[in-house]
Copies of this chain bind each other. A is one copy, B any other.
Amino acid sequence: MVNLHEMGKLARQAARHLAVLDPDRKNQALIALADLLVDQSGAVLSANAIDIHLAEEAGLPPAMIDRLRLSAASLAELAGDVRKVAELPDPVGTVFDQKVLANGLRVHRQRVPIGVLAVIYESRPNVTVDVSSLALKSGNAVILRGGKETLNSNRALLKIIQETLTACAIPPGAVQFVDSSDRADVLALIQMADDVDMLIPRGGAGLHRFCREKSRIPVMTGGIGICHLFVDESANQEMAVKIIHNAKTQRPSVCNSLDTVLVHHAIAEGFIPAIIEHLQEAGVEFRLDPAAMECIQGVPYSPEMVSLAGPDDFDTEWLSLILGVRVVGGLDQAIEHIQFHSTGHSDGILTRDEGNANRFIQQVDSAAVYVNASTRFTDGGQLGLGAEVAVSTQRLHARGPMGLEELTTYKWVIRGDDHVRE
């Protein structure tokens, strides 16, 4: 039985310690963690082998087993990521909106950690290290709850993290792990509103909905992307095929990969066959609306790879090599389709018309809006944040990739000369 209440208390104490910890001390701990990850990779890999074995015995799908697999190389890469986090600027203490008011009060805002984070994730054990290092750097304590398929790997990783904390004289409450497969513990954790300040679910739509509905802690939901590209009449069609190919196939299992292409009717007849020709080579399967289907009559394609879109197909995040294609009357209908079907993650326009690009940017209100680029860039690393703890598709606190700054809040500091309010 996990004592969540006790964990919450330890996390709060550790958070107070971390909030005022010298940046150098935090970075030393990160470097120590990276070293230990490499030194003790044998122990982690042994534990991971047990998880893999159990997963295979349980008949988990190969894609899931892949996600939980670690290797010496992936651990070395993980250690490298931790070293990179150590090198990032420390967001805590940054002063902004500094001003002297007419009455002489000196006011500024100052970044402080959020406090205690809870992160609930599924099968990837590298999240354990990623999140711990970002929490530590941003001065937050964190309570982790990983998937039960990775319990052994996570225990081994936590042992390394705890050793690091001890060596660096950081309280053990800074990074804690809910060592339990009991779902009742998840429910209890997400209701600990007094002990946890921010809840970050990382997983499928079901987990996000569960957290949103049951949690009393402010939740950062996200990571669900039904992503669109609209190919305007004026698009460079050759480049458009290349961008769609990249957005769909470069890593189809992630949230910023492409789900639906909207094609301007004036170019549909030539362009849709071109997409099918170039993407079916990469194993892409298509779901076409009736107008798109008409465009490929008489064009050679593998019938098993192309079908008419079903009623839910434009509301599905594929996470695989499936692509929806729809013909639209023009920019307005494209925007309307996106407003209705997008999850507000990443949507783009391919066009040579600057006016249309600007209207698209203004009217499409997704976390990331693109002009003439692949949706695959919605990522903290790619967009210059240095790292990423999650991608938010909600509107409060942070939108899109969340880096270190998004793991902070601020306080107002007001200095007076014995000021009183009139």
Contacts and interface: CB of A to CB of B under 8 A. Distances in A.
Interface string A319-358: 0000000000000000000010000000000100000010
Interface string A33-75: 0000000000000000000000000000000000000000000
B114 A418 contact: no
Interface residues of A, number: 70
Interface stretch (A128-136, A269-277, A364-372): A364-372
A370 B416 contact: yes
A243 B418 contact: yes
A88 interface: no
Interface in A113-172: 114-115
Interface in A276-293: none
Contacts of A399: 409-412
A419 B377 contact: yes
A5 interface: no
Contact of A384 (B19, B99, B197, B213): B99
Contact of A400 (B213, B350, B411, B420): B411
A218 B414 CA distance: 28
A253 interface: no
Contacts of A339: 16
A174 interface: no
A417 interface: yes
A374 B421 contact: yes
A378 interface: yes
Contact of A395 (B115, B219, B384): B115
Interface in A196-238: 197-198, 212-213, 216, 218-220, 236
Number of copies: 2
A97 B222 CA distance: 22
A316 interface: no
A383 B367 contact: no
Contacts of A112: 365
Pick from A16, A357, A401, A415 the residue with the most CB of B within 10 Å.
Answer: A415
A339 B16 CA distance: 10
Contact of A418 (B115, B236, B361): B236
A299 interface: no
Pick from A99, A363, A419 the residue with the most CB of B within 10 Å.
Answer: A419
Contacts of A180: none
A94 interface: no
B417 A372 contact: yes
Contacts of A421: 246, 250, 374, 376-377, 382
A373 interface: yes
A421 B247 CA distance: 8
A353 to B, nearest CB: 13
A20 interface: yes
A242 B259 CA distance: 65
13 contacts: A107-B384, A115-B365, A239-B418, A246-B421, A247-B420, A250-B420, A350-B418, A367-B412, A369-B413, A373-B418, A382-B421, A395-B409, A396-B397
Interface of A: 16, 19-20, 99, 101, 105, 107, 110, 112, 114-115, 193, 197-198, 212-213, 216, 218-220, 236, 239, 242-243, 245-247, 250, 339, 350, 357, 361-363, 365-374, 376-378, 382-384, 394-397, 399-401, 409-421
**Sorted from nearest, which 5 A-B pairs have the closest CB atoms?**
A373-B416, A246-B420, A239-B418, A376-B421, A373-B419
